[in-house]
């Protein structure tokens, strides 16, 4: 059965998600919601860089929901508007349409989110008989699915560490890079990302989710971070980092169980490969590392490269592909908010190129 899907937004993730849906053998892209007025009325294929599809982009939410699609892929940016994004998704769910999303990232493990915040989504799932799954690459499969697979091949487990080691110099999202993360700001500035509690809010879900899957409960989340300055001016093409301002950030969210660090997310983020040589280094290309300490110990390095040769492109596609490929499983799931352990294994079914495909 072909599933009818609407893509919600055409940002850095949404653009790839729309292409994936349009080309997926088990799906049909039936609509596209856009925010910008200059995109309204344009052919969706033109907007996402593929052949014309004969459908036009719209900002008419009611018209899209009237299509009664099986699922909406909701990827609108929510870093600064989580409540509004939850309200959007709640309306979609209540209307009888399932949702997959990469937007409100703490929802990768719904119990991590305060009951009052997630209640609109839970109520909407009940009303619409629908399911909602949030994921991506990070938070997402690189630090929940991947480590859980490794722990399933252990005799015993002492700790689990999930690391992102990435150069962000091609991550062309100035608002996120300079505003939210604080690159280019003084070393003593307090950007949104490093405001106390924000790291735990954003990544605590994967820490708690992995612990819960292992049968443990996190007692406390501990945040630590450090920064390094740019030794000289760095021109990224979409913004400038002056010498002496922040050009590298390293942070950890430590999940404590009975006073011991057991499950940790760590990010090592640079704007130049030569920065902070004493910090952890990637295994070749930027990517992810999972370290399971126990019997046996495992270290897995995941390198990522897009067709254009860029690791950040690969990360965006990996974010979109995780939620798009999960759509059949989400549509088949019981109503409610879902996490990684609520879904079966999601392979790339139908995506293997054969013959002239």
> 302-356, pLDDT tens digit by residue?
999 999 999 999 999 999 999 999 999 999 999 999 999 999 999 999 999 876 5
pLDDT at position 1 over 90: no
Q: How confident is the model at residue 100 (pLDDT cuts 50, 70, 90)?
A: very high
Q: How confident is the model at residue 299 (pLDDT cuts 50, 70, 90)?
A: very high
pLDDT at position 357 over 60: no
Q: How confident is the model at residue 79 (pLDDT cuts 50, 70, 90)?
A: confident
Pick the CATH number of 3-135+326-342 from 3.40.50.720, 3.20.20.140, 1.10.390.10, 1.10.150.120: 3.40.50.720
- For residues 116-127, give the mean pLDDT: 97
Cβ atoms of 73 and 105 closer than 8 Å: no
Instruction: Sort strands 246-257 and 260-270 into parallel, antiparallel or unpaired.
Output: antiparallel
Q: How confident is the model at residue 77 (pLDDT cuts 50, 70, 90)?
A: confident
Cβ atoms of 206 and 162 closer than 8 Å: yes
Query: Domain residues of the chain, as ranges?
Result: 3-135+326-342, 145-308
Task: Give backbone dihedrals phi and psi of 284, rounded to 5 degrees, phi first.
Answer: 90, -115
Pick the CATH number of 145-308 from 2.40.30, 3.30.360, 1.10.287, 3.10.450: 3.30.360
Neighbour count for residue 95 (Cβ, 10 Å): 19
The answer to whether the predicted template modeling score (pTM) of the entire model surpasses 0.85 is yes
Cβ atoms of 289 and 281 closer than 8 Å: no
pLDDT at position 234 over 90: yes
Closest to 137 measured CA to CA, from 129, 148, 146, 149: 146
Cα–Cα distance for residue pair 61/305, rounded to 1 Å: 35
Per DSSP, helices labelled H in 28-142 are: 44-48, 61-66, 82-94, 115-128
| pLDDT over 70, % of the chain | 99
Per DSSP, helices labelled H in 106-216 are: 115-128, 145-151, 174, 198-213
Cα–Cα distance for residue pair 250/39, rounded to 1 Å: 38
Non-local (6+) Cβ contacts of 191 within 8 A are 179, 180, 181, 182, 185
Closest to 100 measured CA to CA, from 36, 24, 179: 24
Q: How confident is the model at residue 284 (pLDDT cuts 50, 70, 90)?
A: confident
Neighbour count for residue 47 (Cβ, 10 Å): 18
* Per-residue pLDDT reduced to its tens digit, 200-225: 999 999 999 999 999 999 999 999 99
Task: Give backbone dihedrals phi and psi of 99, rounded to 5 degrees, phi first.
Answer: -135, 135
What does the mean pLDDT of the chain come to? 96
* Per-residue pLDDT reduced to its tens digit, 13-41: 999 999 999 999 999 999 999 999 999 99
Q: What is residue 173's predicted lDDT score, i.e. its pLDDT?
A: 87
* Per-residue pLDDT reduced to its tens digit, 42-60: 999 999 999 999 999 999 9
Neighbour count for residue 203 (Cβ, 10 Å): 29
- For residues 223-238, give the mean pLDDT: 97
- For residues 163-179, give the mean pLDDT: 93
């Amino acid at each position: 059965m072909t599933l009818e899907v609407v893509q919600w937004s055409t940002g850095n993730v949404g653009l790839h998600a729309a292409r994936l849906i349009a080309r997926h053998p088990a799906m049909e892209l039936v609509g596209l919601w856009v925010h910008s007025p200059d995109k309204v009325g344009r052919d969706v294929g033109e907007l996402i860089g593929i052949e014309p599809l004969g459908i036009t982009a719209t900002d008419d939410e009611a018209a899209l929901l009237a299509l009664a699609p099986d699922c909406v892929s909701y990827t609108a940016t929510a870093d600064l508007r989580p409540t509004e994004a939850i309200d959007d998704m709640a309306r979609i769910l209540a209307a009888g349409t399932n949702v997959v999303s990469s937007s409100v990232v703490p929802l990768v493990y719904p119990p991590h989110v305060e009951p009052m915040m997630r209640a609109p989504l839970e109520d909407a799932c009940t009303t619409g008989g629908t399911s909602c799954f949030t994921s991506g690459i990070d938070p997402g499969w690189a630090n929940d699915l991947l480590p859980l697979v490794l722990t399933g091949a252990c005799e015993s487990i002492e700790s689990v560490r999930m690391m992102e080691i990435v150069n962000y110099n091609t991550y062309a999202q100035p608002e996120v890079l300079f505003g939210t993360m604080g690159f280019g700001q003084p070393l003593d500035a307090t950007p949104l990302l490093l405001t106390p509690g924000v790291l735990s809010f954003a990544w605590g879900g994967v820490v708690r989710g992995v612990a819960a899957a292992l049968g443990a409960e996190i007692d406390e989340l501990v945040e630590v971070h450090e920064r390094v300055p740019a030794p000289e001016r760095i021109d990224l093409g979409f913004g400038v980092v002056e010498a002496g301002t922040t050009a590298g950030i390293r942070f950890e969210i430590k999940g404590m169980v009975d006073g011991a660090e057991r499950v940790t997310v760590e990010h090592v983020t640079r704007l130049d490969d030569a920065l902070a040589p004493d910090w952890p280094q990637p295994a070749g290309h930027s990517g992810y590392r999972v370290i399971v300490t126990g019997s046996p110990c495992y270290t897995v390095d995941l390198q990522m490269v897009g067709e254009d040769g860029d690791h950040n492109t690969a990360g965006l596609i990996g974010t979109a592909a995780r939620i798009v490929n999960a759509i059949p499983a989400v549509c088949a799931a019981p109503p409610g908010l879902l996490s990684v352990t609520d879904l079966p294994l999601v392979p790339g079914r139908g995506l293997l190129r054969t013959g002239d495909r």
